[in-house]
């Protein structure tokens, strides 16, 4: 197995939304906001090579939105195609795409316009795309709170072209790639636990967005069930500390990976490092 970090967009989100009930006087110490209260976030994806599979985890925002929409999020940086090319891959190389959930910043890159912008097509023509059935049902019948994060154009072309398959339960989908489900952020969010070089690498997606979100109460206001998120984090930390898990952050522009340690005040960051440090062992 090989793991590759695929860095795509940099963008911004409202700091208050990202940190929920936590006061700005606390979160701004590690995630400074601009004059519009926006903080820097990113899309850092993961490519897993195992046997004949090249599995991409999430796909970022994509490029099909108009400039007005993109300006709301201050989107800059790589396209997904550029991010893949930097690691020597092209879209046709991807055999599988694991979608943690169907919010716009996780699935948008899967679908692109054709040359004359008359039709939406899968960016990865040879790939099976996976999401949980629970998340699919949530996305096609969105609640008013999440509706602004779901766009049919991001996933209906995958479904209609037969490129989308549903995950119904936690499982080992590929050898060494275990899928677990979490429901605090959104229903049926899939989090991959990857057996790699004797370690467990966990792709955090929106379960824990960044290093700053490690404290249990730091729960985004995006989470539809914050008390569920709180329990999920607490239970996960017990497992992560015991197993010395590597937490791989999708949205933290400054910190790629960390491990945790348990202290009298709860789980705290132990070590911060790049995924390449795990690759070298």
**pTM value?**
0.96
Strand pairing report for 189-196 and 199-203: antiparallel
pLDDT digit string (tens) for the chain, length 281 residues: 999 999 999 999 999 999 999 999 999 999 999 999 999 999 999 999 999 999 999 999 999 988 898 888 999 988 999 999 999 999 999 999 999 999 999 999 999 998 888 899 999 999 999 999 999 999 999 999 899 999 999 999 999 999 999 999 999 999 999 999 999 999 999 999 999 999 999 999 999 999 999 999 999 999 999 999 999 999 999 999 999 999 999 999 999 999 999 999 899 999 999 999 886 55
User: What span, in angstroms and rounded, lies between the C-alpha atoms of 186 and 192?
Assistant: 16
C-alpha to C-alpha distances, 115 to 64, 86, 112, 118, 120, nearest whole angstrom = 11, 23, 9, 8, 10
CATH of 2-279, one of 1.10.287.110, 3.40.47.10, 3.30.428.10, 3.60.15.10: 3.60.15.10
| DSSP secondary structure letter of residue 84 | H
């Amino acid at each position: 197995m090989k793991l590759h970090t695929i860095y795509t967009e940099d963008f911004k989100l409202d700091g208050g939304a990202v940190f929920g009930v936590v006061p700005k006087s606390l979160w701004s110490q590690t995630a400074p906001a601009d004059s519009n209260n926006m903080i820097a976030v990113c899309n850092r994806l993961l490519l897993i090579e195992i046997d004949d599979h090249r599995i991409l985890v999430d796909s970022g925002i994509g490029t099909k939105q108009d400039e007005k929409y993109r300006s709301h999020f201050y989107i800059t940086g790589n396209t997904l195609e550029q991010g893949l090319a930097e690691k020597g891959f092209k879209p046709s190389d991807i055999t599988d795409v694991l979608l943690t959930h169907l919010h716009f910043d996780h699935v948008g890159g899967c679908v692109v316009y054709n040359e004359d912008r008359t039709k939406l097509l899968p960016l990865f023509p040879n790939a099976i795309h996976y999401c949980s059935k629970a998340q699919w049902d949530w996305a096609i019948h969105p609640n008013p709170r999440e509706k602004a994060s779901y766009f049919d154009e991001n996933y209906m072309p995958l479904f209609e072209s037969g490129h989308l398959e549903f995950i119904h339960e936690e499982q080992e989908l590929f050898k060494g790639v275990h899928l677990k489900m979490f429901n605090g952020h959104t229903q049926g969010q899939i989090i991959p636990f990857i057996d790699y070089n004797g370690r467990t690498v966990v792709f955090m997606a929106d379960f824990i967005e960044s290093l700053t979100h490690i404290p249990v109460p730091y729960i985004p206001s995006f989470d539809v069930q914050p008390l569920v998120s709180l329990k999920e984090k607490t239970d996960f930390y017990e497992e992560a500390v015991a197993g010395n898990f590597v937490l791989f952050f999708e949205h933290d522009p400054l910190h790629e990976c960390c491990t945790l340690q348990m202290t009298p005040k709860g789980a705290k960051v132990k070590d911060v490092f790049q995924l390449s440090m795990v690759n070298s062992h």
